[in-house]
Structure 1
Amino acid sequence: MQHSFTKNVIIHFVFFFFCFQFCDFPSGNLPDGSILGCLFRMQQLHSSSADDVYRIYSQHSTHLNEEIVYFSESCEYKSGGHSVDFGDILILRNYLLFTTARDCSVLLTFREVDPGEALKIPPEHVIRSKENTFVFNIGLTDLDPKPLNRIHKHQRRAIEGFRTSQ
């Protein structure tokens, strides 16, 4: 097996799959339904400042939980005389989804197979060259929803980073 050839095929595949005519990274145009496109859209959900996110979290953290933040519908949430505007819940939700997308890993796996074996595999998962045939899979790991208290942890880390940089 020629490892340099295999490496070149994989590099070519990654470039083709993620960067071909469908992708325009600077403008954010990624193929509909692509893994990178979904992650990119999740990362774009968060548009509030870190100070706003932490202020909202500090105001309402004793009255909210992950279920409310992730699953509440578009209405005001009330708990024991305390109300939380849905806009504030949405800011927290978008921040947590953003941190989930930012923290996950994209895994690409490749395996060389006999050309006959590749016929049993969906063609969109097969890479063919003159000499080799590969199957590949793309997966995500660490896509666990972030807990609400992660906001406090991120705020502490930002403050510590600011202090050490001075």
Structure 2
Amino acid sequence: MVNHYFFAEQPMAFRNLTYTHLTFEEVRKHMLTFMRKEPMGNYKLMIGTDSHVYQNETIFITGLVIQRVGKGAWACYRKIKYPEPIRNLHQKISYETSLTEEVASLFDESLKNEFIHIVLPHVYKGSSFTMEGHLDIGKGKQNKTREFVTEMVARIEAHGIEAKIKPESLVASSYANRYTK
């Protein structure tokens, strides 16, 4: 039986190859600094979660990436170890989506506006800022998650961000996946 309160009680702590403990406020500052270095650019803020079930636990990784398309990125991730294997596929995918939604919800309107105001003076020269929620699910015939696509995409889009599924959900299916192993 999954303890639904477990996830709500987990700290909002992030890490990457340089930093071992970042608060969300520190993540925000790093992302804004990254964008301010080159305000003329096409920026994508991408959030996605992947998980891996082990014998005695399930590891969830939520990746958070700000990409300057064609010119680099700054990334970090949040790791949660759930103390049981979650073998029900719908439940596991639903928790992945919930963790992505939780981090996405931290980007309220005032924070989104901070990002937008960096590129705003350069919009007419082609600059942009978009936000995406990446889901580790796909529509392919061989993909066991295809029956959950409509439900999970609707959940992400309810937050006012664009949902991406495989093969376009790189933060969930590639970046986060790397740290679940």
Question: TM-score when scaled to structure 2?
Answer: 0.27
Task: Give 1 or 2: higher helix fraction.
Answer: 1
Larger Rg: 1
Query: Looking at both structures, which has the greater relative contact order when contacts are Cα pairs under 8 Å and sequence separation is at least 6?
Result: 2
Question: TM-score when scaled to structure 1?
Answer: 0.28
Task: Give 1 or 2: higher strand fraction.
Answer: 2
